[in-house]
C-alpha cells in the first residue's frame, strides 16, 4: 500500500529510483530482492503515474517532465524508510567504497561504489533517492546547502604508484614531478574531481581523459607497454590491495584526501546515522591500525560549507596529515 495516502507503493518507487541509482534492472533486482520483470514493469508504471519519462543520458537513467509531485512522494517514502526501520541506501566513491562499505554496514543497502565523480551521487542524495553518501575529501560539494550535513571520517595522503620495475624507481629519492610528467598518468574525466585535478595541474601531472605524453596510434603490444609505464594514484588504505606488484614513488603530492559521510539534515541525528558513522569509523580504525599516515576523525555534524571550510583551515592546504591529527 502507498505510505501515508501516497500515489504509489514503496516497491514501485524503489524500482524507479533504483534505476536512477544503480543503472541496470539486474542491479536493482539484486539490491531490492525484486525480479527484473517487476523492476521494468513497476518503473514504467510509476513514471506513468507521475507523468514523467524515464530515459538514458550519458549512460545514466534520468527523468524528464514535471518532477514536483514525484519529488514530494519520494520525500514521504524516504521518511518512512528512516522511521520504520527499512533498509537504507548507501553510496560511496570508487576508492573508499569497497574498503568501507563492503560488506554493507548493518541496516544498509549499498550501491555500485564506483562513482568517478561527485556530481551524480550528490544529486541523488539531494533528491532523496539515496540516504547517505561517503564522499572523497577534498572533492566534496562546496555550496552551503543547509539541507545536507557532513560527518568527517578520515584524512590521509595520496600516493603516486607504479608497477615494479618502472624506470622512475631507478631515480630513488631524486625523482621529481618533472620526471613523473614524462610518463602517462591515470586518466580521469575533466572536472570530475576539481580539487584533485588542481593539485595534479600544480605539479604538472594532469593529463585528463585525453592523450597522454606517450599516447598515439599503436598496436596491442605497444599499448601493453604504455600500461606498464602508467603512473597511478592510491591512498595508503588502498595500496595493500594491489599486492607487491605496485609500489610507491618517493614523492608526496601536495594534498590531503579522506572520507566524509553526507546525509540530509533531518536524518543527521537519527540512530541509523550515528550507527553508520560508528560502523565506518570502526572499519577505518581496523584498517588504520596496520596502515601508517591514516587518521580517523571524530567530529560533530555540520553543514557541507562548514565542513569544507573547517577542514581547509585544518590542513591549511599544506599542513597535511599532521594537521589532520589535531581533530578530536
Q: Please, is 110 exposed, middle or buried when counting C-beta atoms within 10 Å of its C-beta (0-12, 13-18, 19+)?
A: buried
pTM for this model (two decimals): 0.84
At residue 87, the pLDDT reads: 97
Contact criterion met (CB below 8 Å) for 291 and 236: yes
CA–CA distance, 108 with 271 (Å, rounded to integer) = 13
pLDDT digits (tens, 9 = 90+) for 33-67: 999 999 999 999 999 999 999 999 888 999 999 99
C-alpha cell at 183: 610518463
3-state DSSP assignment of residue 230: coil
At residue 299, the pLDDT reads: 65
pLDDT digits (tens, 9 = 90+) for 185-216: 988 888 888 889 999 999 999 987 654 443 33
At residue 313, the pLDDT reads: 46
Residues of the chain predicted below pLDDT 70: 1, 4-6, 141-145, 209-226, 299-328
Largest CA distance in the chain: 69
Q: Which domains does the chain have, with CATH numbers?
A: 1-65 (1.10.10), 157-254 (3.40.190)
At residue 212, the pLDDT reads: 43
Give the contacts of 231 (CB within 8 A, at least 6 positions apart).
Answer: 160, 161, 162, 166, 168, 180, 183, 184, 185, 186, 205, 249
At residue 324, the pLDDT reads: 30
Contact criterion met (CB below 8 Å) for 26 and 98: no
239: part of which helix (H) or strand (E)? none
CA–CA distance, 168 with 231 (Å, rounded to integer) = 9
DSSP 163-199: ETT-GGGGGGGG--HHHHTTSPBPP--TTSSHHHHHH
Amino acid at each position: 500500500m502507498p505510505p501515508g495516502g501516497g500515489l504509489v507503493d514503496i516497491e514501485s518507487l524503489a524500482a524507479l529510483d533504483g534505476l536512477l541509482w544503480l543503472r541496470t534492472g539486474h542491479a536493482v533486482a539484486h539490491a531490492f530482492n525484486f525480479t527484473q520483470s517487476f523492476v521494468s514493469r513497476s518503473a514504467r508504471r510509476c513514471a506513468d503515474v507521475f507523468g514523467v519519462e524515464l530515459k538514458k543520458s550519458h549512460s545514466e537513467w534520468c527523468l524528464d517532465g514535471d518532477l514536483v509531485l514525484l519529488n514530494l512522494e519520494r520525500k514521504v517514502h524516504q521518511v518512512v524508510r528512516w522511521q520504520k526501520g527499512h533498509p537504507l541506501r548507501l553510496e560511496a566513491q570508487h576508492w573508499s567504497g569497497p574498503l568501507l562499505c563492503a560488506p554493507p554496514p548493518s541496516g544498509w543497502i549499498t550501491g555500485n561504489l564506483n562513482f568517478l565523480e561527485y556530481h551524480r551521487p550528490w544529486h541523488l542524495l539531494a533528491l532523496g533517492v539515496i540516504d547517505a553518501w561517503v564522499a572523497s575529501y577534498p572533492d566534496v560539494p562546496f555550496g552551503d546547502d543547509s539541507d545536507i550535513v557532513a560527518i568527517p571520517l578520515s584524512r590521509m595522503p595520496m600516493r603516486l604508484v607504479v608497477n615494479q620495475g618502472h624506470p622512475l624507481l631507478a631515480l630513488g629519492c631524486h625523482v621529481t614531478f618533472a620526471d613523473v610528467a614524462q610518463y602517462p598518468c591515470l586518466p580521469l574525466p575533466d572536472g570530475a574531481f576539481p580539487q584533485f585535478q588542481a593539485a595534479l595541474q600544480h605539479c604538472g601531472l594532469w593529463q585528463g581523459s585525453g592523450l597522454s605524453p606517450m599516447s598515439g596510434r599503436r598496436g596491442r603490444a605497444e599499448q601493453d607497454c604504455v600500461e606498464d609505464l602508467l603512473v597511478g594514484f592510491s591512498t595508503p588504505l588502498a595500496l595493500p590491495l594491489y599486492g607487491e606488484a605496485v609500489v610507491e614513488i618517493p614523492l608526496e603530492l601536495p594534498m590531503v584526501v579522506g572520507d566524509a559521510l553526507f546525509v540530509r539534515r533531518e536524518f543527521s541525528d537519527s540512530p541509523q546515522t550515528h550507527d553508520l558513522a560508528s560502523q565506518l569509523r570502526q572499519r577505518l580504525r581496523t584498517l588504520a591500525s596496520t596502515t601508517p599516515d591514516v587518521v580517523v576523525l571524530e567530529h560533530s555534524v555540520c553543514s557541507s560549507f562548514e565542513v569544507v571550510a573547517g577542514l581547509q583551515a585544518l590542513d591549511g592546504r599544506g599542513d597535511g596529515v599532521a594537521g589532520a591529527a589535531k581533530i578530536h
